[in-house]
Amino acid sequence: MIALVPGLLPTCTAKQPQVKGCTSGSRKNVGCMFLSLRTTMRLLTHNMLTSHVKGVTNGYPLKLQAENIKVMSVDFNPEFVARMIPKLEWQALVQAAESIGHLGDLPRELVPEYESNEEFLKMAHHVLMEVEVIEGNLECPETGRKFPIKNGIPNMLLNEDEV
C-alpha cells in the first residue's frame, strides 16, 4: 500500500540516516527535536505561492533565497507528478531550482508527451518534491518585500499597511 501512494511523506525508516546526515539543519534556531524531522518548504509549494502585498500586480514568482537546503528521498509516483505538471508554472519552477543551484538536468522547457517520459518525470519529481528549503526568504518581485522562511515555514503574514 505504501509503495502505491506518491509518498508525500518521507518513509522515515529507510531515509532517516540521510536526514540526519544533512548538516544544514543543525545551525540557527532549529531545535534538536526538529533535526530528524523534515521541516522544509518544497519547490512545489513555492510554485503555488505568490506575493499578496496590497496593490501588487506582478507578484509572481517569488524570488527564492535559500540559506539552508536539504535534499531528501521521497517515493516516486509517476502518475502524481504527471498530473501535477499542468498545474505548475514551469518557468517559475526552473528559475527557482536554478537560483538555489538544484536545477540539475531538468529541461528548461516542458518536453512533449512528458506523461510517458519516466526519466523526465523522475527529474521533475526530484526538483518538486525532494529539494527543500529550511531557512531563507521569499521576495516579492515587485516590492522587494521579503517573507522569511524559518524552520521550513514561510511566514506570509502581512502587516496592517500591506493588506
Per CB under 8 A, residues contacting another protein are 5-6, 8-10, 33-34, 37-39, 41-42, 44-45, 48-52, 60, 77, 79-84, 87, 89, 147, 151-158, 160, 163
Polymer length in residues for the chain: 163
Closest distance of CB 114 from another protein, Å? 13
Residue with cell 544533512: 22
Closest distance of CB 127 from another protein, Å? 14
Closest distance of CB 106 from another protein, Å? 18
Closest distance of CB 60 from another protein, Å? 6
Q: Which is nearer to another protein, 2 or 21 (CB)?
A: 2
In Å, what is the CA distance from 62 to each residue of 36, 43, 116, 146, 148? Answer: 28, 11, 30, 9, 12
Q: Which is nearer to another protein, 26 or 155 (CB)?
A: 155
Phi, psi angle pair for 61, to nearest 5°: -85, 160
- Contact between 76 and 122 under an 8 Å Cβ cutoff? The reply is yes
- Contact between 127 and 104 under an 8 Å Cβ cutoff? The reply is yes
- Contact between 16 and 36 under an 8 Å Cβ cutoff? The reply is yes
Closest distance of CB 83 from another protein, Å? 3
Pairing label, strands 63-71, 41-42: unpaired
Q: Which is nearer to another protein, 13 or 87 (CB)?
A: 87
Q: Which is nearer to another protein, 50 or 68 (CB)?
A: 50
Q: Which is nearer to another protein, 96 or 154 (CB)?
A: 154
Termini Cα distance of the chain: 45
Beta bridge partners of 68: 135
